[in-house]
Amino acid sequence: MKFPTISMTVFVCMLLLLHPSLIMASSEHEHGANETHDHHDHDEHEHGDQEHSESQVTISSALAKQSGIQTQTVGGGVLQQRALLFGRLKPDPQHISHIRARFPGLIRQVNVQIGESIKAGTVIARIEANDSLRIYDITSPIDGVVIDRHANAGEFTGEEILFTLANYAQLELDLSVFARDTQAIRIGQRVDIYQTDARSSQAIAHGIITYLTAGNGDIPTVTAHVPIDNGGQQLMAGTLVEAHVTLAEDKVALLIEKRAVQQHDGQSVVFVRQGDHYTARPIIVGRGNAQFVEVLSGLDAGEEYVVDNSFLLKADLEKSGAAHVH
C-alpha cells in the first residue's frame, strides 16, 4: 500500500497543532532568560548605588548646625613636637622683697597688714634706733602685697626679717623634669601653660625657659624655670598647671586636627563636606602631636573637613550599613 507523501512544512504544522505546549515552553524559556538578565542588570545598578551610599551621609545645613557639626579647611602648617610637664606657679624670686631694719632699735609704729597691697615708697614702719635714739622710716622698695610680717609696735628688732613683699605681676613657673626628658629640655624653649582641670583648651599663659637647676632628691631631676607675665593679675601663685614645652617645629604641607580622624572599616577616615554631603575619605597620616596630625594622602589643600562632632556622622554611617546588611 502506498502512503501519501507529506512535505516537511505540513508535518511541522501538524505537530504544533497537536502539541501547542512546545510553543509555550519555548516562549517561557526565552522570557525567563530575559527576566534573569534584566534582574541581574538591576542588581548591579543597585549595588553600585549602595557602594556610594556606604561612605556618604547627607545632612541638611540646618540639621548640621543644630548637631554642632563644624568644619575647617585643609591646609599646611607647623607641626610642633611637645613634652608635657607639670608644675606650680609661685612669686618670681626677683620680685620678692625681704625687709629688715637698717639699725637695731624699738619698733614705734607699723602701718601695714598681711594681704595689703602697697606702692613702692610707702612707709610701712617707724623704728627708734638704739644708738642715736632717732626715729627713722622703713619704706617699701617695690610695689607688692605684704605676704609676711614679723613686727609689732613695742618690739625690739635686730637683723631679722620684719616684712616680706611679693609683686604678683610677675610669677615664675617651676617645672619638674624627670630623667627621661632631661636631654630634650633646653633653655630658650617655648612653654604654653594650661589649667589642669581641662575646662578650656586655650592656653592661660606663655613663657620661655630661662634657666635650669638640678634637683637634690634620690631620683635625678631637673627643674625648669619659666618667668610668667601676670600683669592682669589673673593667675594665682600656688596654682598647679600643665605645661606643653615645644621641642621642635616642622612645616608640613597638609595639617588637620587630630580629633577629626575617625576609624571606619579598619581605616582612618575624615569626613569631607561638599554641600549637604559628607563623605568618609580614607587618609594616611604621618607625624602628629596631641592636637594635630600630618596628612600624607587622601586629602587636598582647600577641602572642607569636619572637626567637631564627626563621630555623629560615623555613627549614622555605621547605622545605615547595619540596616542594609539586615
- Please tell me the predicted confidence (pLDDT) of residue 238: 92
- Please tell me the predicted confidence (pLDDT) of residue 325: 44
- Please tell me the predicted confidence (pLDDT) of residue 199: 57
**Contact between 100 and 88 (Cβ < 8 Å):** no
- Please tell me the predicted confidence (pLDDT) of residue 215: 76
Burial class (CB in 10 A: 0-12, 13-18, 19+), 56: middle
Nearest residue to 209 via CA among 229, 230, 195, 223? 223
Q: Is the dihedral of CA 237, 238, 242, 244 positive or negative?
A: positive
**Contact between 139 and 122 (Cβ < 8 Å):** yes
Burial 194-229 (b: 16+ CB within 10 A, else e): beeeeeeeeeebebebeeeeeeeeeeebbebbbbbe
Q: What domains sit in the chain, N to C, each tagged with a CATH number?
A: 54-79+251-325 (2.40.420.20), 81-91+169-250 (2.40.30.170), 96-166 (2.40.50.100)
Q: For 317, phi and psi rounded to 5 degrees? A: -65, -45
Q: For 21, phi and psi rounded to 5 degrees? A: -60, -25
- Please tell me the predicted confidence (pLDDT) of residue 291: 85
pLDDT digits (tens, 9 = 90+) for 196-232: 875 567 889 999 999 999 877 677 789 999 999 998 8
Q: Where are the alpha helices (DSSP H) in 54-183?
A: 61-66
Q: Which residue has the cell 619659666?
A: 226
Q: What angle do CA 147, 150, 156 make, to 5 degrees?
A: 155
SS3 206: strand
- Please tell me the predicted confidence (pLDDT) of residue 74: 95
Nearest residue to 118 via CA among 151, 100, 136, 141? 141
42 HSE (CA, 13 A, CB side): 6
Report residues of the chain scoring pLDDT below 50.
Answer: 1-52, 324-326
- Please tell me the predicted confidence (pLDDT) of residue 20: 47
- Please tell me the predicted confidence (pLDDT) of residue 198: 59
pLDDT digits (tens, 9 = 90+) for 1-30: 444 444 444 444 444 444 444 333 333 434
Cα–Cα distances in angstroms (integers) from residue 306 to residues 27, 65, 215, 285, in the given order: 57, 12, 46, 16
- Please tell me the predicted confidence (pLDDT) of residue 183: 87
Contacts of 84 (CB under 8 A, 6+ apart): 242, 243, 244, 245, 290
Model confidence pTM above 0.75: no
Q: For 43, phi and psi rounded to 5 degrees? A: -65, -40
The CA-to-CA distance between both ends of the chain, in Å, stands at 75
